[in-house]
């Protein structure tokens, strides 16, 4: 499914829920736009947001593991970052390991997670997927999509008595 035909989903109401956003703001304009989307979705759901920064996309999985081990009990977790293809194969290694690491943690723990790591060829592609609220293309904000996914998982965990 492409960004253009992605369905618009609203976050479920989660009053009192706590959402942790772990972000790698290397590309501040991109991640800042996605963060604004997360903030919008969390506010609409009636939840509270906490934010933690990491150096880059590779560190997202380890930070998620630390957050889960901390015992602080967030209801949902959102990870944001951006990797833009360069002239070397560094892009491929970082994307593969970041995706695999986060995927393993999600499958092992069943945590409520929204994964907003953009893996793009150009900065323009990233900017198109991170337009903040109020912009014409805000519906395609991948931060919003990640937050909604995380809160849908949190609602499912509550429904099944896991939270």
The predicted model gives 20-24 an average pLDDT of 98
Residue 75 has pLDDT above 50, yes or no: yes
* The total number of structural domains that make up the chain: 1
Q: Is 139 a member of any domain?
A: yes
Q: Is 151 a member of any domain?
A: yes
Q: Is 134 a member of any domain?
A: yes
Lowest mean pLDDT among 14-23, 70-79, 88-97, 129-138: 129-138
pLDDT at 42: 97
Q: Is 62 a member of any domain?
A: yes
Q: Is 155 a member of any domain?
A: yes
Tens digit of each residue's pLDDT (9 = 90 or more) over 51-70: 999 999 999 999 999 999 99
Q: Which residues of 130-150 are buried (b: 16+ CB within 10 A; e: fewer)?
A: bbbeeeeebebbbbbbbbbbb
Q: Which among 52, 12, 26, 57 has a CA at the least distance from the CA of 147? A: 12
Q: Is 61 a member of any domain?
A: yes
User: 15: how many CB neighbours lie within 10 A of its CB?
Assistant: 8
Residue 127 has pLDDT above 90, yes or no: yes
Determine the structural domain holding residue 123 and report its residue range: 20-159
pLDDT at 140: 84
Q: Is 36 a member of any domain?
A: yes
Q: What is the CATH number of the domain that holds 82?
A: 3.40.50.960
Mean residue pLDDT across the chain: 93
Residue 10 has pLDDT above 90, yes or no: no
pLDDT at 1: 38
Lowest mean pLDDT among 54-68, 92-106, 123-137: 123-137
pLDDT at 133: 74
Residue 91 has pLDDT above 80, yes or no: yes
Q: Which among 122, 37, 19 has a CA at the least distance from the CA of 76? A: 19
Positions marked active-site: 90
């Amino acid at each position: 499914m492409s960004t253009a035909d992605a369905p618009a989903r609203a976050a479920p109401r989660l009053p009192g829920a706590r959402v942790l956003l772990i972000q790698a703001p290397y590309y501040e304009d991109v991640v800042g736009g996605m963060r604004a989307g997360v903030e919008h979705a969390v506010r609409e759901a009636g939840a509270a947001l906490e934010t933690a920064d990491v150096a880059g996309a590779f560190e997202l999985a380890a930070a998620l593991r630390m957050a889960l081990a901390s015992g602080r009990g967030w209801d949902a977790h959102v990870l944001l970052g951006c990797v833009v293809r360069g002239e070397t194969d560094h892009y491929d290694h970082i994307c593969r390991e970041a995706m695999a690491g986060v995927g393993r943690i999600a499958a092992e723990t069943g945590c409520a997670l929204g994964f907003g790591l953009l893996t793009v060829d150009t900065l323009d592609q990233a900017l198109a997927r991170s337009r903040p609220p109020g912009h014409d293309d805000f519906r395609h904000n991948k931060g919003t999509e990640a937050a909604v996914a995380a809160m849908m998982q949190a609602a499912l965990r509550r429904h099944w008595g896991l939270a």
